[in-house]
Amino acid sequence: MKKLVWVRAPGMTASIYLACAAGTGLSLAADPATGPHGAMPIAAQEQRLDKLITRYATPPAGIDPVAWASIYMMTGNELTPDRIALGRKLYFDTRLSKDGTLACATCHDVSRGFSDHRSVSEGIGDHLGKRSAPTTMNAALLQSQFWDGRAPSLDEQAKLPILNPIEMGHPDAASAMASVNTDPTYQAMFQKAYGRAPNYDDLGRAIASFERTLIFLDAPFDRYAAGDLKAMSLAAQRGLDLFNNKARCVSCHMINSSNPLGTDNLFHNIGVSARTKNFEALAGQAISVLSKNNDPKELDKLAIETDMSELGRFLVTKNRGDIGAFKTEQVRNVGITGPYMHDGSLKTLWDVVDHYNKGGETNTYLDGGIEPLNLSENEIDDVVAFLFALTDTRFAAQNEAAFREQQALAAKSRPLRDNALAHREMLPFEQRVMGPSGLK
């Protein structure tokens, strides 16, 4: 295995970072979309990527080397330059979709925080799915993939969207591989990367290899944690204290060198859109369907194409305690990866904090840790300031633009705050335990 070397993007000195933060200098803000399905054109995305990453490393800076070696690296698919190069080519290749209009990069757009900034993603034939596309930044560090964790690794995750009827639309692996198998360039690249002819499993491995290089963990927070007390604003510093204490974010979003993303890698029902869903009826439908066909493609269809998507982790485990539970997403680069939650229903980070501040949406399966926080308006602002300080410095200009945009939107509309601040209704099981008088 060849040794890989990590370096910062060209010219990204502290002075240029500060210039970016002030809105001048190198700009990495999203450009107007002119490509299919609203994405930046593929060639422009690749040029943007070249400004962000020039070389690759194992392990990347900011990650505990032992954790990287023992947890995050896939045995049998170790990173090599040839595998990364093959995966990058596949990631940006629209031929992996049935109609030739979508690549992985369509919904995981370099210019949009490796996501698509949509509430739900758009596939072939302008079909819309049921969930928001999570960023591929730092996805290598997650212990499972998708909002419901139905894929155990990036290698497996990369193969499913290509075969989903309303995402990239190929009916089977043979169809997906047709253009690859007849391309001499791909034939040579697969041979160099894996020592064999193109095949679908190696296609997934190669895309995953490229995605394992998308590590963005050099944020103002990291510099502050390393001792630069001026790296974060005073508001962000107050927000960090709230994050770790009164706001209780750290309960699920802990951050350390062996877990740098700020996620517990678990699944929780936090009451998103719960009032509009009949979880019992949906669970019954899911059990009926999956009892007849429980293969990954069928599960993928339920998660992406049907209202059973709202069952979350339950689709994978069939455990009633997982009804409406979704993965704790990373908080890294969260400023530039909105909208938020599995359904993209929260437009700003102010909305996100408002959601937790009122104690979520009441439902039978609400996680027991979701309780009202009683944060003041100033405290909410401080938590949001800290969350924006978790964006990698290479996206400083884009992060600043996103902050201003969200701030302006929040000034006009804060539906969760205005509807119910710091209030949570008694849950059905609590009513049974406490009795009609509210006393046990």
Residues 177 and 225 in one domain: no
What's the pTM?
0.86
Q: Which residue has the higher pLDDT, 417 or 205?
A: 205
Residue 177 lies in a domain: yes
The total number of structural domains in the chain stands at 2
**Phi-psi bin for 75: left (phi > 0), alpha (psi -120 to 50), beta?**
beta
Q: Pick from 156, 187, 211: which residue ends a domain?
A: 211
Residue 12 lies in a domain: no
Q: Which residue has the higher pLDDT, 56 or 381?
A: 381
Over residues 123-148, the pLDDT tens digits come to 999 899 999 999 999 999 999 999 99
Q: Which domain holds residue 187?
A: 31-211
Residues 313 and 384 in one domain: yes
Q: Pick from 192, 211, 230: which residue ends a domain?
A: 211
Residues 299 and 350 in one domain: yes
- Are residues 56 and 4 in contact, defined by beta-carbon separation less than 8 angstroms? yes
End-to-end CA distance of the chain: 64
Over residues 98-127, the pLDDT tens digits come to 999 999 999 999 999 999 999 999 999 989
Residue 365 lies in a domain: yes
The pLDDT of residue 16 is 28
- Kindly state the tokens that stand for 63: 């990650």
Residue 440 lies in a domain: no
Residues 204 and 241 in one domain: no
Q: Write down the number of H helices and E strands in the chain.
A: 20, 2
Q: Report whether the peptide linkage leading into residue 59 is cis, meaning its omega lies within 30 degrees of zero.
A: yes
Residues 144 and 258 in one domain: no
Residue 24 lies in a domain: no
For residue 115, what is the domain's CATH number?
1.10.760.10
Residues 288 and 359 in one domain: yes
